[in-house]
Chains A and B, each alone.
Chain A
Amino acid sequence: MARDWLKGAKQNYDTIVIGSGLGGMTSANLLAKLGHNVLLAEHHYNLGGMATWFKRKGGHVLDISLHGFPIGMIKTFRKYWSKDMADRVIQLKNIRFDNPQFSVNTTFDRVDFTDLLENHFGIMKEVIDEFFNTVREMNFYDEIKISTRDLFERFFPGRKDVWRFLMEPITYANGSTLDDPALTYGIVFSNFMSKGVFTYQGGTDQLIKEMKHEMESNGVDIRTHCLVEKIYVEDGKVKGVRINGRDIECKTVLSNANITTTIQHLVGEEHFKPEFVDEAQKVRLNTSSCQVYMGIKRGEKIDYDGDLLFSSVADEYDTDKILAKDVTSRTFSFYHPFIRPGGNRYSIVSSTNARYEDWSNLSESEYLREKEDLIQTTLDALEKYVPDIRKVADYFEAATPATFKRYTLHPKGTSFGTKFEGLKVSRELPNQIQGLFHTGSVGIIMSGWLGAANYGVIVSNEVDKLLRSLNTEASMVVTSA
């Protein structure tokens, strides 16, 4: 008989969190700390969602999304996780760009960007300052008036090289493009510009281990291999969920699954108002990714001191070219030994934004051939920076949008959630159905490690508010009886 992954689970919980991305885990941990009874259900055998890693023969540990996040993550770890986690956050100081328009090194903060914009790109200091001040004052509740393209056109008309310098890293971070609302760009860019790009010393495996430990000590009932199949709703209220065929009651559900999956498949559109269903159907998914993982042999090293390299052979920044299967732009994350002290190991991960459709309709043999081609062309591109990469590396593997779909269950393997309109739909869920909440990568600004974790906190506040009001009602009923 198959193992019962729900063995010992209770018959009811205050909150069931669906999915263990950074948003789901931060919520589960916080709600448990606030005194609620929480079950965290993850379909995969590992926790973390996109914040994940894998190990391969030869002592290779490959990270999916470790490099890098804004400094705000220190405070987020400190407040919602632990001081130890906060203390492990370290800066990545060598950020490189290399493309036909320019080659620069930067620490990726406002001071250094100002210097480069002024002295390398020849932009007037007053314009640079006004640009930084404008983007810093953008808020998510502002009215969407202009796109990022409009914003760049206003400050740097015709300067496609500057646009690329400002946009390429943000496309890597959250999949956004020139056509998305300028405020999403402003918020994310300003977060990075405050102090630069950071990473987590110890690696993703250490981080998730710490988080698991922290959640356990706060009393979260963590269940892996547990697929939530259905959210039960009665009379406009959440009643429970079905996990691996078993029904469990709960007062609230916090879905860290994709927002459209939550509405259309887990709950079912019949439980929502028709206008809301229409609005939800209009939510556009963000794009997915391809990655190539390269494990360096034990004892070998890489003579390249960059941490992140935005490389492209395309003439200029172009959304279609960035997504095209004929890859011209790649972001290389270099994982040096200081990431996992004591191990003295290196790895390199190449990331490319990609479309699910380009990978989903291939036959198995075509798919395998295309994956191998992706690896070989990536190595060709990397040889410019690490000439002996084929000699020093002994492990290669590729992930495609189909891979991301398989592990995260996100529709079309989206690795950056939804476009901006997804945030409003996500926020509206509890007004549609009492006890139904969503957290996860929505609206571009709630994407990435910092966005995901903080959105988890924002939604947990709403869950806590409801649970406490339900408890107060219950005690009033008892008192008056």
Chain B
Amino acid sequence: MTKEQVRQAILDILTEIAPDEDIHSISDDGNLRDQIDLDSMDFLDIVMELRKRFNIEVPEKDYEFLATMSSCVNYLFPLLGDRKLAS
């Protein structure tokens, strides 16, 4: 996966978790919590979706890396970089 594909994968997950929010307005460096009103339960959902879709386990101590879009991409890229997109 390229960084752009990782970003898209995160957007797909956010669309699932916050179906009524405008996902496309998300900026890379703003806090996700403030931009689309994510709470701690939503972050738990992101963790569950990452496990379901990519078999990635995000330990609790790493939740802080899910704070912004760019920190998500930077954190997940090394984990997803060698994955091929499901066709």
Once A and B bind, how many residue pairs between them come within 8 Å at the CB atom?
Answer: 32
The reply to whether B51 and A468 contact each other, CB–CB distance below 8 Å, is yes
A464 within 8 A of B: yes
A111 proximal to B (CB < 8 A): no
Query: Is A34 engaged at the interface, CB distance under 8 Å to the other chain?
Result: yes
State whether B48 touches A34 (Cβ < 8 A). Answer: yes
Contact B48 A468, beta carbon cutoff 8 Å: no
Give A33's nearest chain B residue, CB to CB. B52
Q: Decide yes or no whether B23 CB sits under 8 A from chain A.
A: no
Given A468-B55, A472-B55, residue A79 in contact with residue B48 (CB < 8 A) = no
Q: Which residues of B contact A78 (CB under 8 A)?
A: 19-20
* Stretch from B6-14, B26-34, B39-47 at the A interface: B39-47
Q: Is the CB of A75 within 8 A of B41?
A: yes
B17 within 8 Å of A (CB atoms): yes
B57 proximal to A (CB < 8 A): yes
Which residues of chain A in 429-481 are interfacial with respect to chain B, using CB atoms and an 8 Å cutoff? 454, 457-458, 460-461, 464-465, 468-469, 472
Is A204 interfacial (CB-CB < 8 Å)? no
A interface, how many residues as a size bin? 10 to 19
- For chain B, give the interface size range: 10 to 19
A457–B41 CB distance below 8 A: yes
Question: Is there an interface contact between A79 and B44, defined as CB atoms closer than 8 Å?
Answer: no
For chain A, what secondary structure do more than half of its interface residues adopt (helix, strand, loop), or is it mixed? helix
Nearest CB of A to B64, in Å: 14
Smallest Cβ distance from B42 to chain A, in angstroms? Answer: 8
Cβ A454 vs Cβ B41 within 8 A: yes
A445 to chain B, nearest CB (A): 12
- Cross-chain contact A34 with B52 (CB below 8 angstroms): yes
**A288 near B: Cβ within 8 Å?**
no
A76 at the interface (CB under 8 A from B): yes
**B41 and A461: CB pair below 8 A?**
no
Which residues of chain A have a CB within 8 Å of any CB of chain B? 34-35, 72, 75-76, 78-79, 83, 454, 457-458, 460-461, 464-465, 468-469, 472
With contacts A34-B48, A75-B41, A464-B51 known, what are 13 further pairs, Cβ within 8 A?
A: A75-B39, A76-B41, A78-B19, A79-B17, A458-B41, A458-B44, A461-B48, A464-B52, A465-B51, A465-B57, A468-B51, A468-B55, A469-B57
